[in-house]
Amino acid sequence: MPLTRVFLRRGKPAAYRQAILDGLYEAMRETYNVPENDYFMVVTEHDGVDFRGSPNYLGVARSDDLVIVQLTVSNTRSFAQKKALYRRVVEKLAANPGLRPEDVFINLVETLPENWSMGHGVAQYAKDQAA
Protein backbone atom coordinates (compact mmCIF):
# COMPACT_ATOMS: atom_id res chain seq x y z
CA MET A 1 0.00 0.00 0.00
CA PRO A 2 2.19 2.83 -1.15
CA LEU A 3 1.36 6.34 -0.07
CA THR A 4 2.56 8.45 -2.98
CA ARG A 5 3.53 12.09 -2.65
CA VAL A 6 4.56 14.14 -5.66
CA PHE A 7 6.13 17.57 -5.29
CA LEU A 8 6.67 19.92 -8.22
CA ARG A 9 6.74 23.57 -9.20
CA ARG A 10 3.38 25.24 -9.61
CA GLY A 11 2.04 25.82 -13.10
CA LYS A 12 1.83 22.45 -14.81
CA PRO A 13 -1.55 21.60 -16.35
CA ALA A 14 -3.88 19.02 -14.82
CA ALA A 15 -3.14 16.51 -17.61
CA TYR A 16 0.58 16.72 -16.82
CA ARG A 17 -0.01 16.05 -13.12
CA GLN A 18 -2.43 13.22 -13.92
CA ALA A 19 0.12 11.62 -16.26
CA ILE A 20 2.63 11.59 -13.41
CA LEU A 21 0.18 9.87 -11.06
CA ASP A 22 -0.87 7.38 -13.74
CA GLY A 23 2.74 6.57 -14.62
CA LEU A 24 3.69 6.06 -10.99
CA TYR A 25 0.75 3.76 -10.36
CA GLU A 26 1.47 1.72 -13.50
CA ALA A 27 5.16 1.40 -12.59
CA MET A 28 4.30 0.24 -9.07
CA ARG A 29 1.83 -2.31 -10.45
CA GLU A 30 4.40 -3.64 -12.91
CA THR A 31 7.43 -3.86 -10.61
CA TYR A 32 6.34 -3.64 -6.99
CA ASN A 33 3.45 -6.09 -6.60
CA VAL A 34 0.96 -3.32 -5.91
CA PRO A 35 -2.59 -4.69 -6.15
CA GLU A 36 -5.16 -3.23 -8.52
CA ASN A 37 -7.02 -0.23 -7.04
CA ASP A 38 -4.34 0.20 -4.36
CA TYR A 39 -3.54 3.86 -4.85
CA PHE A 40 -3.38 6.76 -2.42
CA MET A 41 -1.69 9.68 -4.14
CA VAL A 42 -1.18 13.39 -3.54
CA VAL A 43 0.32 16.11 -5.73
CA THR A 44 1.64 19.23 -4.04
CA GLU A 45 2.60 22.24 -6.14
CA HIS A 46 5.00 24.89 -4.92
CA ASP A 47 6.02 28.36 -6.03
CA GLY A 48 9.61 28.50 -7.25
CA VAL A 49 10.83 30.22 -4.11
CA ASP A 50 9.47 27.30 -2.04
CA PHE A 51 10.83 24.50 -4.22
CA ARG A 52 14.55 23.86 -4.51
CA GLY A 53 16.57 20.94 -5.78
CA SER A 54 20.28 20.88 -6.44
CA PRO A 55 20.92 21.50 -10.13
CA ASN A 56 23.93 19.14 -10.13
CA TYR A 57 24.19 16.98 -7.00
CA LEU A 58 25.97 13.67 -7.74
CA GLY A 59 26.53 14.81 -11.32
CA VAL A 60 22.83 14.79 -12.24
CA ALA A 61 21.89 17.91 -14.25
CA ARG A 62 18.41 18.80 -12.97
CA SER A 63 16.17 21.51 -14.39
CA ASP A 64 13.27 23.55 -13.02
CA ASP A 65 11.02 20.66 -14.12
CA LEU A 66 12.31 18.55 -11.22
CA VAL A 67 9.66 16.26 -9.76
CA ILE A 68 10.23 14.78 -6.31
CA VAL A 69 8.41 11.52 -5.66
CA GLN A 70 8.19 10.13 -2.16
CA LEU A 71 6.75 6.65 -1.73
CA THR A 72 5.96 5.43 1.76
CA VAL A 73 5.82 1.64 1.54
CA SER A 74 5.90 -1.48 3.67
CA ASN A 75 9.44 -2.82 3.97
CA THR A 76 8.63 -6.04 2.12
CA ARG A 77 10.37 -5.54 -1.25
CA SER A 78 13.80 -6.66 -2.40
CA PHE A 79 16.58 -4.40 -3.60
CA ALA A 80 16.04 -5.79 -7.11
CA GLN A 81 12.38 -4.71 -6.97
CA LYS A 82 13.40 -1.24 -5.83
CA LYS A 83 15.87 -0.87 -8.71
CA ALA A 84 13.23 -2.10 -11.17
CA LEU A 85 10.74 0.40 -9.75
CA TYR A 86 13.16 3.32 -10.13
CA ARG A 87 13.88 2.38 -13.76
CA ARG A 88 10.24 1.85 -14.66
CA VAL A 89 9.09 5.10 -13.06
CA VAL A 90 11.64 7.03 -15.11
CA GLU A 91 10.61 5.20 -18.30
CA LYS A 92 6.93 5.89 -17.69
CA LEU A 93 7.38 9.55 -16.80
CA ALA A 94 9.74 10.13 -19.73
CA ALA A 95 7.09 8.72 -22.08
CA ASN A 96 4.26 10.73 -20.52
CA PRO A 97 4.28 13.60 -19.57
CA GLY A 98 7.77 13.87 -21.09
CA LEU A 99 9.96 14.34 -18.04
CA ARG A 100 13.70 14.16 -18.48
CA PRO A 101 15.14 11.19 -16.53
CA GLU A 102 17.40 13.66 -14.71
CA ASP A 103 14.33 15.44 -13.36
CA VAL A 104 12.82 12.42 -11.57
CA PHE A 105 13.93 12.22 -7.92
CA ILE A 106 12.55 9.22 -6.01
CA ASN A 107 12.67 8.62 -2.26
CA LEU A 108 11.38 5.43 -0.64
CA VAL A 109 10.33 5.58 2.99
CA GLU A 110 9.93 2.08 4.37
CA THR A 111 7.80 1.21 7.34
CA LEU A 112 6.59 -1.94 9.06
CA PRO A 113 3.37 -3.44 7.68
CA GLU A 114 1.56 -2.90 11.00
CA ASN A 115 2.06 0.86 10.67
CA TRP A 116 -0.83 1.17 8.21
CA SER A 117 -4.55 1.53 8.75
CA MET A 118 -6.68 1.80 5.61
CA GLY A 119 -9.87 2.48 7.54
CA HIS A 120 -12.05 1.32 10.41
CA GLY A 121 -9.11 1.80 12.82
CA VAL A 122 -7.73 -1.59 11.81
CA ALA A 123 -4.12 -2.43 10.98
CA GLN A 124 -5.03 -4.50 7.93
CA TYR A 125 -1.47 -5.65 7.19
CA ALA A 126 -0.56 -6.60 10.77
CA LYS A 127 0.15 -10.27 11.24
CA ASP A 128 -1.62 -10.38 14.59
CA GLN A 129 -4.79 -8.26 14.65
CA ALA A 130 -5.56 -9.31 18.24
CA ALA A 131 -2.54 -7.52 19.73
User: Which residues are designated catalytic?
Assistant: 2
The DSSP call for residue 32 is S
* Nearest partner of 67 among 80, 56, 51, 81, judged by Cα: 51
CA angle, 54 as apex, 27 and 75 as ends, to 5°?
40
Number of H helices, E strands in the chain: 2, 4
